Amino acid sequence: MASRKAGTRGKAAATKQAHRGSSNVFSMFEQAQIQEFKEAFSCIDQNRDGIICKSDLRETYSQLGKVSVPEEELDAMLQEGKGPINFTVFLTLFGEKLNGTDPEEAILSAFRIFDPSGQGVVNKDEFKQLLLTQADKFSPAEVEQLFALTPMDLAGNIDYKSLCYIITHGDEKEE
């Protein structure tokens, strides 16, 4: 009986620790984003126990075609949660990762500098030259990768308002 109680206490402590994620984490995301995170969490939580564990990660990788993931890599992922990873902790981890993204208005303001006519577009070739030569220079491969995801108008100009939305909210297109 004593060992059963100890086991129950251990589970309760783990659950309590898992719930310690920021109570404000849900206010960081829109309801649609939270739903998408729930779907992602559900896909990763292979055994459906509400906690992401090493076997869940290994099975998820396996389903994605990567069968030999080093134990250290799986352990490092789990250690980011600093305890059991339930949905709240999962959401908190994403919030921390995405926290470095500037607000949409700040990004739009930066693009407006390159759009003196206020049409909501910037010239692709001019922008490419800036990316390759200024500040934190992009490699040609990085520029091509960016442009593959960047909304363009019929003239080949960058629709920066749509791009800013994608940066701050994710791509809404169905794949």
Architecture of domain 28-98: Orthogonal Bundle (1.10)
Instruction: Report the pLDDT value the prediction gives residue 149, as an integer from 0 to 100.
Output: 86
Tell me the two tokens of residue 89. 């902790």
Q: What is the pLDDT of residues 151-168, one digit of tens each?
A: 999 998 999 999 988 877
Question: Cα separation of 8 and 137, whole Å?
Answer: 54
Q: Please, are residues 169 and 33 in contact by the beta-carbon 8 Å criterion?
A: yes
For the segment(s) 104-169, the CATH number from 3.40.190.10, 3.90.180.10, 2.60.40.10, 1.10.238.10 is: 1.10.238.10
Q: Please, are residues 69 and 77 in contact by the beta-carbon 8 Å criterion?
A: no
Instruction: Report the pLDDT value the prediction gives residue 172, as an integer from 0 to 100.
Output: 55
Ranges for all domains in the chain classified under CATH 1.10.238.10: 28-98, 104-169
**Contacts of 149 by beta carbon, 8 Å cutoff, 6+ apart:** 166, 171
Question: Cα separation of 173 and 166, whole Å?
Answer: 10
Q: Which of 22-36, 38-52, 90-104, 130-144 has the highest mean pLDDT?
A: 38-52
Task: Name residue 99's amino acid.
Answer: N
Q: What is the pLDDT of residues 23-76, one digit of tens each?
A: 578 888 888 889 999 999 999 999 999 999 999 999 999 998 898 999 999 999
